[in-house]
Homo-oligomer: A and B are copies of this chain.
């Protein structure tokens, strides 16, 4: 496949390397000339069959592409879509942004010239964050075993989705079929909320040097992601505000329950009851994979699989079935 990767940060750079290593012809582009130069130098040093090329413009990058991977931060996606539309590009498009509803809405607005609002577009999100960033941190094995969401909306052509799913499972990732809205609700809980809780916890020691000196493992782990740059966390949570609001409300309600337990006649017993569901949920995580199964490659079966916490490990060559895994019960 001929693939263009636009944006060569941690995720885009890793996708460039992984796709090239998987045997695809890959052309990368980044708006920053220094990043392009770094990516060119790295290409010359990569093992011969895994080389990629770097284009100076989006137009050059997508000229022969069957697929464009947009790997720029959310605030830059609209501009890239406009530039892509200006080239007249008609092939497949995917992205790797951490919120999916806003990107879907941008695509519907910006790629209107195409034959259908979402035709040719499949929103994606590899769950492969790291503290490090930039092309220098990119790694062709970043996606091995990682969950990679591919959005299956009512308007998504199934053939486009399966094409992407075949490509991404080929990189060793677990493809999770879901809608943009379900994705955004889930990441609000498992990624955006942890950042807000970590920041609140870290701030609670700001004027307390004694607390800082006594802090050990539970503080270290509970605040680790608070070290992320505030503008990045703010863009992530603010860009998904519609889903973060109810998720935060639910945690506020839960913590208010803990506060009431502390005031109960038997606080230790009340707290134990309050704690039990969280302990059980943590003990059941991460989900243990069940046996490999074969499913029909239809939207209902795929979305049901995603809702059950399952994922694809492969797509049959005839695109009629997929191999999949559901979490083992209990």
Q: Which B residues are CB-close (under 8 A) to A263? A: 245
A244/B222 in contact, CB under 8 A: no
Q: Which B residues are CB-close (under 8 A) to A281? A: 202-203, 205-206, 212, 226
Interface centre among A214, A271, A280, A283 (most CB of B within 10 A): A214
- Bound-state CA distance A244–B263 (Å) is 11
Q: Which B residues are CB-close (under 8 A) to A199? A: 258, 274-275, 278-279, 282
For residue A299, give the distance in angstroms from its CB to the closest CB of chain B.
16
Interface range for A: 35 or more
- Bound-state CA distance A202–B262 (Å) is 20
Q: Which B residues are CB-close (under 8 A) to A202? A: 278-279, 281-282, 285
B258/A200 in contact, CB under 8 A: yes
Q: Which B residues are CB-close (under 8 A) to A129? A: 216-218
Stretch of A18-26, A29-37, A185-193 that contacts chain B: A185-193
B230/A210 in contact, CB under 8 A: no
For residue A79, give the distance in angstroms from its CB to the closest CB of chain B.
17
For residue A144, give the distance in angstroms from its CB to the closest CB of chain B.
13
Please pick, from B215, B254, B259, B327, the residue contacting A213 in the complex, using a CB distance under 8 A.
Answer: B327
Task: Pull 9 A–B residue pairs with CB atoms less than 8 Å apart, ordered by A.
Answer: A174-B213, A193-B201, A199-B274, A209-B287, A212-B285, A227-B279, A233-B279, A234-B268, A248-B259
Minimum CB distance partner of A224 in chain B: B221
Q: Which 6 A-B pairs have the closest CB atoms?
A: A209-B309, A199-B278, A238-B268, A194-B222, A203-B278, A234-B271
B176/A191 in contact, CB under 8 A: no
